[in-house]
Amino acid sequence: MNRWILLFFVACFSQTANAVLKIDITEGIEGATPIAIIPFQWNSATRLKDSDISEIVSSDLARSGKFSPVAEKSLLARPQRPEDIHFKTWRVAGVDHLVIGSVQMVANDSFKVEFRLFNVYRGEQVLGYSFNATSATLRTTAHQISDLIFEKLTGLPGAFNSRIAYVTSSGKPVEYRLQVADTDGYNPQTLLTSKEPIMSPVWSPDGSRVAYVSFESGLSAIFIHDIHKGTREKIASFKGINSAPAWSPDGKTMAMTLSKDGNADIYIISLQTRALRRLTSHWSIDTEAAWMPDSNSLVFTSSRSGKPQLYELSLDQGSRPKRLTFEGKYNSNASVSADGKAIAFVHSANNSYKIAVLYTDTRVMQVLTEGPLDESPDFAPNGTMILYASQDKGKAVLAAVSTDGRQKQRLALSDGEVREPSWAAKRK
Amino acid sequence: MKIITMKSSVFALVMALLISGCTTGVQPDSEAGADAGAGAEDGEYETGATVGTIGDGGAFTGSALEGMTISYEKNAINDPGNVLSIKTIYFDYDSSELSDDDAEVVKHHGKYLALNSDASMRLEGHTDERGTREYNIALADRRAQSIKKLLLFQGASSSQITIISYGEEKPAALGHDEDAWKLNRRAELVYE
| Cβ neighbours of B138 in A, within 8 Å | 241, 243, 257, 259, 264, 285-287
Contacts of B163 in chain A (CB under 8 A): 240
Which of A259, A350, A420 lies closest to B31 in CB terms?
A350
Distance from CA of A305 to the nearest CA of B (A): 7
Contact between chains at B35 and A330 (C-beta distance less than 8 A) = no
Edge-to-edge strands, sheet with A175-182: A189-194, A175-182, A163-170, A417-423
Contact A162, A183 (CB under 8 A): yes
- Tell me whether residues A351 and B39 touch, CB distance under 8 A: no
**Reported pTM:** 0.84
- pLDDT (0 to 100) of residue A353: 96
Query: Cβ of B137 and A257 within 8 Å?
Result: yes
Give which of A375, A388, A391 to mutate to test B binding, by max B Cβ within 10 Å. A375
- Do the strands A242-247 and A253-258 form a parallel or antiparallel pair, or are they unpaired? antiparallel
Contact A243, A300 (CB under 8 A): no
How many whole angstroms separate alpha carbon A114 and alpha carbon A291? Answer: 39
Name the residue in chain A with its Cα closest to that of B149: A262
Cross-chain residue pair A350–B94, CB shorter than 8 Å: no
pLDDT of residue A47 exceeding 80, the answer is no
Whole-number Å distance between alpha carbons of A401 and A379 = 10
Measured in angstroms, the CA of A132 and the nearest CA of chain B are apart by 43
Contact A199 B138 (CB under 8 A): no
For the segment B147-173, the average pLDDT, to the nearest whole number, is 97
| A and B: number of Cβ contacts within 8 A | 125
Q: Taking CB atoms and an 8 Å limit, are B31 and A330 in contact across chains?
A: yes
Strand partners, B163: B123
Residue A203: in which H helix or E strand, if any?
strand A198-203
Q: Are strands A375-379 and A385-392 parallel, antiparallel or unpaired?
A: antiparallel
Euclidean distance between CA atoms A332 and A285, whole angstroms:
11
Contact A330 B34 (CB under 8 A): yes
pLDDT tops 80 at residue A105: yes
Contact call for residues A137 and A9 (beta carbons, < 8 A):
yes
Q: Is A217 exposed, middle or buried (0-12, 13-18, 19+ CB in 10 A)?
A: exposed
- Arithmetic mean of pLDDT, A121-150: 96
Within an 8 Å CB–CB cutoff, is residue B103 touching chain A?
no
| Burial status of residue B14 (CB atoms within 10 A of its CB: 0-12, 13-18, 19 or more) | exposed
Decide if pLDDT at A9 tops 60.
no
Q: DSSP assignment, residue A351?
A: T
Which residues from chain A sit within 8 angstroms of residue B129, using beta carbons? 373
Q: In 3-state terms, chain B is what percent helix, strand and coil (to 5)?
A: 45, 10, 45
Residue of A nearest to B48 (CA): A351
Question: Could you tell me the pLDDT band of residue A178, with boundaries at 50, 70 and 90?
Answer: very high
User: Does B9 score more than 60 pLDDT?
Assistant: no
Contacts of residue B95, Cβ cutoff 8 Å, sequence gap at least 6: B46
pLDDT tens string A266-302:
999 999 999 999 999 999 999 999 999 999 999 999 9
- In this structure, the strands spanning B88-90 and A41-43 are unpaired
Look at residue A19 in the predicted model and tell me its pLDDT.
74
Q: Which of A299, A329, A420 to mutate to test the interface with B (most CBs of B within 10 A)?
A: A329
User: Would you tell me how many other CB atoms lie within 10 Å of the CB of residue B104?
Assistant: 15
Are B44 and B169 within 8 A, CB to CB?
A: no
Q: Which amino acid is present at A400?
A: A
Neighbour count for residue A314 (Cβ, 10 Å): 16
A204 touches chain B (CB under 8 A): no
Q: Indicate yes or no: CB of B34 within 8 angstroms of CB of A305.
A: no
Tell me which residue in A257, A262, A329 faces B34 most closely, judged by beta carbons.
A329
CB A331 within 8 A of CB A308: yes
Per DSSP, A46 falls in state P
The answer to whether residue B55 scores a pLDDT higher than 70 is: no
CB of B181 less than 8 A from some CB of A = no
- The alpha-carbon gap from A244 to the nearest alpha carbon of chain B, in Å, equals 6
Distance of CA A228 to the CA centre of its chain: 19
**Closest Cα in chain B to A394:** B176
Band (pLDDT 50/70/90 cuts) for residue B105 is: very high
- Interface residue A52 vs chain B (CB under 8 A): no
Q: In the predicted model, what is the mean pLDDT of chain A?
A: 91
What pLDDT is recorded for position A15? 35
Nearest chain A alpha carbon to B94 = A307
Alpha-carbon gap: A288 to the closest alpha carbon of chain B (Å): 6
Residue A14 has pLDDT above 60, yes or no: no
Residue A382: pLDDT over 60: yes
pLDDT digits (tens, 9 = 90+) for A240-250: 999 999 999 99
Cα–Cα distances in angstroms (integers) from residue B157 to residues A259, B110, B148, B152, in the given order: 19, 9, 10, 6
Interface of B with A in 3-62 (CB under 8 A): 29-31, 34-35, 38-39, 41, 45
Q: Is B66 exposed, middle or buried (0-12, 13-18, 19+ CB in 10 A)?
A: exposed
Residues 342-401, chain A, touching B (beta carbon < 8 A): 346, 348-351, 353, 372-373, 375-376, 391, 394
pLDDT in tens, A190-232: 999 999 999 999 999 999 999 999 999 999 999 999 999 999 9
B86: closest CA among B113, B54, B53, B108? B108
- Candidate from A14-18, A362-366, A382-386, B97-101 with smallest mean pLDDT: A14-18
C-alpha A125/C-alpha A149 separation (Å) is 12
Beta partners for residue A412, in sequence order: A22
B96, B97, B132: best to mutate for the A interface, most A CBs within 10 A = B132
Q: Is the ipTM of this complex over 0.95?
A: no
Pinpoint the alpha helices (H) of A8-84: 53-63
Bridging pattern class, strands A33-37 and A67-69: parallel
Q: Do B134 and A288 touch (CB under 8 A)?
A: yes
Yes or no: say if A25 and A409 are a contact pair by the CB < 8 Å rule. Answer: yes
